[in-house]
Amino acid sequence: MGKIDKNNPLKSLEHWEDDILQRYPDPDTQEKEKEAFRDYQNSERIDTVRAFYKLNHQYQNYDFVIKKEQEFLRFDKKEMSLWEAVDFLNTLIDDSDPDIDLDQLQHLLQTSEAIRADGHPDWFVLTGFLHDVGKVLCLFGEPQWAVVGDTFPVGCQFSDKIVYPEFFETNTDSSDDRYNHKYGIYEKNCGLNNVKMSWGHDEYLYQIMKDYLPEPALYMIRYHSFYAQHRENAYDHLMSEHDHKMFEWVKKFNPYDLYSKAPVPPDAKTLKPYYQDLVAKYLPEKLKF
């Protein structure tokens, strides 16, 4: 087994998604033969995912999130079209994924084409196409643990339903009396829009897109990695009735994100005119990142 980079332990940014698939396998495929599943027993993958979450849970605290918002929500890193952003993201192609040899554009197209095939509205298709574009954070120098991973609220007690909860022992918020109780700095059912989430590509892309897409799309983008809630219902006490209504869209989106990967790449050249028109319908020519 190779040496694990202590700052960027994942060999692929998709390793944490593979770990999610192990925790939450597709119920429609659980009866398949063992060979049909991804290889979750690889010891290096388990070690790198654990190392990733150890860093993530240690450093993702309330002050860190405020710092990252101040740094990145000025949107002064780069100005580009969505297509330029996707091309930029394609420099993250990783040869270490043993399951599928697709660049980021093809992964996005697999997600969006699965959504389109099921007859969902075009804004839903667009959401599938752009949902991971916030991973450009890695190309701005952000470590992996501040880009991907399951997300969770900061500023209140960390739920034991979050993956690897034991690693929060080293998070300074766990010993801070302002934050280490059920509601922390929040009030009962205050609504997630009033709650700070751990920093990563979900929140970053939401902030870029919040003026352009319908509200259900924005919930999908912002909370698609919030597994402690949309799979475990661990934060009902912070959610409003409106949040619960919108999370039906998040739950609808999640299977397309996790289970749409396939070994046959989409025909990007043929599909591009459709997506060019779709992007132009909802987004400005240039976006600030």
Among the listed residues 94, 213, 277, the one whose alpha carbon sits nearest the alpha carbon of residue 205 = 213
Sign of CA dihedral 165, 71, 74, 70: positive
pLDDT score of 143:
94
Contact 163, 28 (CB under 8 A): no
Among the listed residues 175, 131, 183, the one whose alpha carbon sits nearest the alpha carbon of residue 156 = 183
Report the distance separating Cα 60 and Cα 67, nearest Å.
11
Report the distance separating Cα 48 and Cα 288, nearest Å.
33
Report the distance separating Cα 189 and Cα 238, nearest Å.
4
Give domain limits for the chain: 15-288
Task: Quote the DSSP letter at residue 2.
Answer: P
Report the distance separating Cα 198 and Cα 264, nearest Å.
34
pLDDT score of 257:
87
Report the distance separating Cα 158 and Cα 184, nearest Å.
10
Contact 279, 85 (CB under 8 A): no
Among the listed residues 132, 131, 112, 284, the one whose alpha carbon sits nearest the alpha carbon of residue 217 = 131
- Mean pLDDT by 10-residue block, N- to C-terminus, for the chain (289 residues)? 67 69 65 43 73 97 98 98 92 46 78 96 98 94 95 98 97 98 98 98 98 98 97 97 98 88 81 97 98
Report the distance separating Cα 34 and Cα 43, nearest Å.
17
Report the distance separating Cα 112 and Cα 200, nearest Å.
21
Contact 198, 173 (CB under 8 A): no
pLDDT score of 32:
42
pLDDT score of 48:
87
Report the distance separating Cα 108 and Cα 86, nearest Å.
9
Report the distance separating Cα 163 and Cα 232, nearest Å.
11
Whole-angstrom CA distances from 31 to 4, 27, 254, 285, 289 are 34, 8, 20, 46, 43
